[in-house]
């Protein structure tokens, strides 16, 4: 089953191929696919291909504008995949073809033997996740500092907001704050420059490791059912209440923030007071 890391990989592969392409038409071959047949965004230009949760998102803009007017969202589910054929590629369309997105520079085929995948056309930019994707180059320490500035929210719930950083869930938020040695209850807007940098680096590292682990699980197990992700075994704090902190040996604690569990080591993750930022 393609999970976040695999979808991330697909989006990253498609982005450079599709960016700037003009969408000519969408040919839906499978009646199960209820891709909106009205308001089809033809003539739009691909601005980017990204990931929205576990879906591949093809972002479309109008000519001469950077504003995203439509998104094509593809959920691959069990067996779906997206295959790009550049114009002039003589390859015959494969079996299990459910939809064909025809662009000026090629065709994107949505192939899905078990037909659980979905393809949707939505208007406008992502409503919930218009924030910065922490796996992209747009995510820099200054960008993070700008997002944090002025926020009175506690760090852990702040990380879960999808309008600042997109894609972080409950597990990664706890892991990232542990790796950054930051108290999850700190107010987001009080981080100094060195702490912001630690948070930035921890976010990058934890996500990269998680993505690498899922990938490993995939190639090792091969079958779609095996979901004991490699990252589960590497969790530092999440789900480890009362167990020994991997850094200091004291027990990991579970606290509740906005109705959700946060796992942390209150010894390693002591909140530095505002204005007493420590050197890296």
Contact map string, positions 195 to 234, toward Zn ion, x by CB under 5 A: ----------------------------------------
Asked if residue 109 lies in contact with residue 93, where contact means CB atoms within 8 angstroms, the answer is yes
- Nearest residue (CB) to Zn ion, 211 versus 265: 265
Is residue 246 at the binding interface for Zn ion, with CB under 5 A as the rule?
Answer: no
Separation of alpha carbons 112 and 96, rounded Å? 6
Distance CA 58, CA 49 (A): 5
**Region binding Zn ion by CB under 5 A among candidate stretches 5-13, 103-111, 155-163, 257-265:** 257-265
**Residue linked to tokens 């700190």:** 186
Judged by CB, which is closer to Zn ion: 208, or 248?
A: 248
Active site residues: 2-3, 54, 260
Provide CB contacts within 8 A for 196, sequence distance 6+.
Answer: 141, 144, 145, 148
Which phi and psi angles does 279 have, rounded to 5°? -70, 150
- Considering only residues 260 through 279, tell me which ones interact with Zn ion, judged by CB under 5 A: 265, 267-268
For Zn ion, the closer of residues 139 and 263 by Cβ is: 263
Residues 115-134, buried b or exposed e (16+ Cβ, 10 A)? eebbbebbeebbeebebbbb
- Identify which range of 19-27, 99-107, 159-167, 248-256 contacts Zn ion by CB under 5 A: 248-256
Task: Count residues near Zn ion (CB under 5 A).
Answer: 6
Residues that bind Zn ion (CB under 5 A): 245, 247-248, 265, 267-268
């Amino acid at each position: 089953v393609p999970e976040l890391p695999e979808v991330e990989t697909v989006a990253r592969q498609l982005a450079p191929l599709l960016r700037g392409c003009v969408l000519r038409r969408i040919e839906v071959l499978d009646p199960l696919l209820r891709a909106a047949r009205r308001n089809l965004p033809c003539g739009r230009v691909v601005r980017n291909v990204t990931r929205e949760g576990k879906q591949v998102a093809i972002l479309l803009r109008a000519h001469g504008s950077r504003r995203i007017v439509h998104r094509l969202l593809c959920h691959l589910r069990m067996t779906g995949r997206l295959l790009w054929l550049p114009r002039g590629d003589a390859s015959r369309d494969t079996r299990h073809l459910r939809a064909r997105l025809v662009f000026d520079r090629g065709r994107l085929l949505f192939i899905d033997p078990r037909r659980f995948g979905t393809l949707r056309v939505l208007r406008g930019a992502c409503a919930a996740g218009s924030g910065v994707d922490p796996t992209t180059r747009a995510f820099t320490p200054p960008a993070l500092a700008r997002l944090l500035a002025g926020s009175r929210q506690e760090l852990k719930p702040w990380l879960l907001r999808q309008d600042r950083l997109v894609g972080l869930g409950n597990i990664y938020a706890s892991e990232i704050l542990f790796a950054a040695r930051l108290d999850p209850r700190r107010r987001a807007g009080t981080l100094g420059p060195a702490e912001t940098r630690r948070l930035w680096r921890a976010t990058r590292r934890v996500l990269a490791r998680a993505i690498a682990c899922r990938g490993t699980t995939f190639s090792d197990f091969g079958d779609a059912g095996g979901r004991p992700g490699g990252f589960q075994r590497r969790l530092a704090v999440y789900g480890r209440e009362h167990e020994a902190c991997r850094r200091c040996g004291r027990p990991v604690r579970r606290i509740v923030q906005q109705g959700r569990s946060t796992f942390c080591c209150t010894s390693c993750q002591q909140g530095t007071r505002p204005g007493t930022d420590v050197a890296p």
